[in-house]
Amino acid sequence: MQTQTTRQEIEAKKERLEKTLDLVNQVMDVLVKYENKILGEKTKDKLREDIPFSCCIRDLSHCLYIDRYVSYEEKQAGNPIDIDFTIPKTNTNKSPKVILTEIYKANTGYFEGFPEAIKTYKMALDTNNPELLDDKKREIKEREAEAREIKAFLGLV
């Protein structure tokens, strides 16, 4: 099995974040339609239908979680894209009300952290640093092999 280069690894991470962020944005686009509505059972069922991918909506004491179903094929292919999107409850005894600003706050990792990470990956890909890192890793392996040979020659193995 051939190992990935650092550039390939960064590109894969960036692509994964972009796909995840796209899924989260799809959920937010749907939630705009539900702004200020209370998510009772019927409304949750309608929301589940409106979300453009298969998902499960779990009702917990402090929030609703929207989890994307990951197909067997995706799991087999490796690195399936999963999201855990939170709709906070203001009153733990009731169904949550869709307040987009609160939903944004509860999911800032997606809306602020992911774009920042994507930007960082893009900047890294615009340099030759990934190749420099690969060169350094190769040098380290060569030096480790040399050190093992010297150690064996000295009888220190």
Question: 27-44: per-residue pLDDT in tens?
Answer: 999 999 999 998 888 988
* Neighbour tally for 55: CB within 10 Å: 18
The two structure tokens encoding residue 144 = 């480790």
75-121 confidence digits (pLDDT tens)? 787 767 888 888 888 776 678 889 999 999 999 989 989 999 999 99
| Residue whose tokens read 């690969």 | 134
Outline where the chain has alpha helix (H). Answer: 6-32, 41-50, 72-77, 100-106, 108, 114-125, 129-153
Q: Which helix (H) or strand (E) holds 63?
A: strand 63-68
pLDDT for 40? 87
User: Does 25 have pLDDT greater than 80?
Assistant: yes
Q: What is the mean pLDDT of the chain?
A: 89
> Is 111 strand, coil or helix?
helix
Phi first, then psi, for residue 86 (nearest 5°) are: -105, 135
Give the model's confidence band at 1: pLDDT under 50 very low, under 70 low, under 90 confident, else very high: low
| pTM over 0.85, yes/no | no
Phi first, then psi, for residue 39 (nearest 5°) are: -90, 80
C-alpha angle 77-75-63 in degrees, rounded to nearest 5: 140
Domain boundaries, the chain: 6-126, 128-157
- 142 vs 55, which has greater pLDDT? 142
| Residue whose tokens read 């640093």 | 129
User: Does 24 have pLDDT greater than 70?
Assistant: yes
pLDDT for 78? 74
pLDDT for 92? 61
* Neighbour tally for 39: CB within 10 Å: 22
According to DSSP, the β-strands at 84-88 and 55-59 are unpaired
